[in-house]
């Protein structure tokens, strides 16, 4: 296989797609249902068409390209990832997996080959959940797991709901059910992704064969206190939302540390209202993201946080509430597909490691019900979800070679 050709083709695509960001010069910001996702979707459709695929964008913004197989009645092999990003993220998270999937179709076309079943290249809308706090929107719609009511419920920082954002984007949220694929139509799901952590790079390992993905719970908590004069209200007569929230937030990292075994918990977003120097805060909204390969640990940490919130708010007569944004359990990935990839790594002489994923992926949502696997390429210094995210293009070509073997053998 001509790895230089692969590297050249995917680097051209990835360089082009870099331009579709709302924050030029400061990383990739491609929020769902924005001009940036529109431009990226159009580019993806074009290169899928150029690769001779049957292309369609579904009613929620997922883009699919199909290379017909020898027997179209068989469940398809789907390969893909997402094409949205976090705020000021990197140029590889998600989109590199989509482009690598397109490249697999091109390689089959170059050789005039067909798989037994259809090969479907998938580019999912809104995996990150950054804008609406949710996650896996496109893949969940494909699985028939999203409702119009949820689209109305979840809102972004400007109080725009998924429903309104979709409408503004030219989609009809009421049609959401049409995005669901018939049961049994997808045989295998395969996703290539950058590792987004330091393990492969630090150990100079070329490829990661992902054997499980953490479960995740996400919440937005509101601590409701009372706004008062910062100079005149004695300390023991306040319902200071910042003080209460900060005490709880300060313990969340320690709760995760105490569990060990890769458990993490993050508060990455906070909003103070009214947010003024001389006003005791009326309320604080903050996010919680808890992850572990053991679901019982996630539940335990969530309960500990609720208990701390009870304690702090009851002490002052304040209150709190939590809006659940995401609950998804850990998954083990396909042992059979892992074995095929391992065999392929050995044949090509690539170093590899079977490893868990601490990041969430469309494969986490899809792997709950379908035969699923992932392959990782190293991230330089483990950096990701930031503008310096970097993986040399040649690294992807090795993973693409292994996936080419996989789709032909599965
Ligand atoms: C997505 O990258 C996530 O892990 O949150
Ligand atoms: Mn990400
Ligand atoms: Mn991703």
Q: Which of 128, 132, 266 for a ligand 1 pocket mutation test, highest count of atoms within 8 Å of Cβ?
A: 128
Residue 80 in contact with ligand 1 by CB distance below 6 A = no
CA–CA distance, 282 with 167 (Å, rounded to integer): 34
Output the pLDDT for position 98. 98
Residue 90 in contact with ligand 1 by CB distance below 6 A = no
Measured in Å, residue 268 CA sits from the centre of ligand 1 at: 12
What stretches of 131-286 show up as alpha helix (H) in DSSP? 137-142, 148-153, 162-168, 199-202, 241-259
**DSSP track, 1-65:** --HHHHHHHHHHHHHHHTT--SSTTS-B---TTSHHHHHHHHHHHHHHHHTT-EEEE-TTS-EEE
Output the pLDDT for position 253. 98
Residue 359 in contact with ligand 1 by CB distance below 6 A = yes
Nearest atom of ligand 1 to the alpha carbon of 128: 1
First to last CA, the chain: 19
Measured in Å, residue 393 CA sits from the centre of ligand 1 at: 22
Long-range contacts made by residues 387-392, C-beta under 8 angstroms, separation at least 24? 387/26, 387/27, 387/28, 387/88, 387/89, 387/90, 388/90, 389/27, 389/89, 389/90, 389/91, 389/92, 389/93, 389/194, 389/196, 390/90, 390/92, 391/92, 391/96, 391/194
Residue 161 contacts residue 152 (beta carbons within 8 Å): yes
Looking at ligand 1, which residue's alpha carbon is closest to its atom 5?
360
Output the pLDDT for position 1. 87
Ligand located closest to 389 CA: 2
DSSP state of 180: P
Distance of alpha carbon 305 from its chain centroid, rounded? 24
Q: Which residues have CB less than 5 Å away from ligand 3 (the ion)?
A: 93-94
Residue 215 in contact with ligand 1 by CB distance below 6 A = no
pTM: 0.94
Reading the chain (410 residues) residue by residue, the pLDDT tens digits are 899 999 999 999 999 999 999 999 999 999 999 999 999 999 999 999 999 999 999 999 999 999 999 999 999 999 999 999 999 999 999 999 999 999 999 999 999 999 999 999 999 999 999 999 889 999 999 999 999 999 999 999 999 999 999 999 999 999 999 999 999 999 999 999 999 999 999 999 999 999 999 999 999 999 999 999 999 999 999 999 999 999 999 999 999 999 998 999 999 999 999 999 999 999 999 999 999 999 999 999 999 999 999 999 999 999 999 999 999 999 999 999 999 999 999 999 999 999 999 999 999 999 999 999 999 999 999 999 999 999 999 999 999 999 999 999 99
**DSSP track, 318-344:** -EEEEEEEEEE--EE--HHHHHHHHHH
Tell me the C-alpha to C-alpha distance, in Å, between residue 212 and each of 330, 341, 343, 355, 360: 7, 15, 19, 7, 10
Ligand located closest to 194 CA: 3
Residue 402 contacts residue 342 (beta carbons within 8 Å): no
Q: Which of 137, 359, 365, 367 for a ligand 1 pocket mutation test, highest count of atoms within 8 Å of Cβ?
A: 359
Measured in Å, residue 360 CA sits from the centre of ligand 1 at: 4
Residue 360 in contact with ligand 1 by CB distance below 6 A = yes
Output the pLDDT for position 345. 98
Ligand located closest to 124 CA: 3
């Amino acid at each position: 296989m001509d790895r230089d050709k692969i590297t050249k083709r995917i680097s051209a695509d990835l360089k082009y797609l870099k331009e579709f960001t709302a924050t030029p010069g400061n990383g990739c910001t491609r929020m769902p249902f924005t001009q940036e996702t529109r431009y990226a979707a159009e580019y993806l459709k074009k290169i899928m068409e150029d690769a001779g695929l049957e292309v369609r964008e579904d009613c929620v913004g997922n883009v699919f390209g199909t290379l017909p197989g020898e027997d179209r009645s068989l469940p398809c092999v789907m390969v893909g990832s997402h094409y949205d990003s976090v705020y000021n993220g990197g140029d590889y998270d998600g989109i590199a997996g989509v482009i690598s999937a397109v490249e697999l179709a091109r390689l089959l076309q170059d050789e005039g080959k067909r798989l037994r079943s259809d090969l479907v290249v998938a580019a999912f809308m809104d995996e990150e959940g950054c804008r609406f706090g949710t996650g896996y929107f496109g893949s969940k719609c494909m699985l028939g797991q999203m409702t119009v009511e949820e689209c109305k419920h979840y809102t972004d920082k400007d109080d725009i709901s998924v429903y309104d954002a979709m409408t503004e984007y030219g989609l009809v949220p009421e049609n959401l059910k049409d995005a669901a694929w018939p049961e049994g139509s997808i045989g295998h799901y395969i996703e290539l992704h950058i590792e987004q952590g330091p393990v492969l790079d630090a150990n100079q390992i070329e490829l990661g064969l992902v054997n499980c993905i953490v479960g995740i719970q996400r919440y937005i908590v509101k601590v409701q206190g009372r706004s008062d004069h910062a100079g005149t209200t004695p300390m023991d007569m306040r319902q200071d939302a910042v003080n209460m929230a900060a005490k709880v937030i300060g313990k969340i990292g320690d709760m995760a540390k105490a569990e060990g075994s890769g458990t993490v918990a993050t508060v990455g977003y906070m909003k103070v209202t009214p947010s003024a120097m001389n006003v005791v805060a009326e309320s604080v909204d903050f996010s919680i993201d808890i992850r572990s390969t053991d679901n019982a640990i996630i539940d335990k940490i969530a309960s500990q946080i609720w208990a701390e919130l009870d304690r702090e708010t009851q002490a002052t007569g304040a209150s709190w509430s939590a809006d659940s944004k995401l609950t998804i359990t850990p998954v083990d990935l396909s042992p059979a597909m892992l074995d095929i990839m391992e065999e392929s790594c050995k044949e090509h002489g690539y170093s590899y490691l079977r490893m868990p994923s601490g990041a969430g992926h469309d494969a986490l949502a899809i792997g709950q019900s379908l035969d699923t696997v992932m392959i990782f390429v190293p991230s330089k210094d483990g950096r990701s979800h930031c503008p310096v995210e970097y993986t040399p293009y040649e690294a992807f070509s090795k993973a693409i070679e292994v996936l080419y073997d996989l789709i032909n053998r599965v």
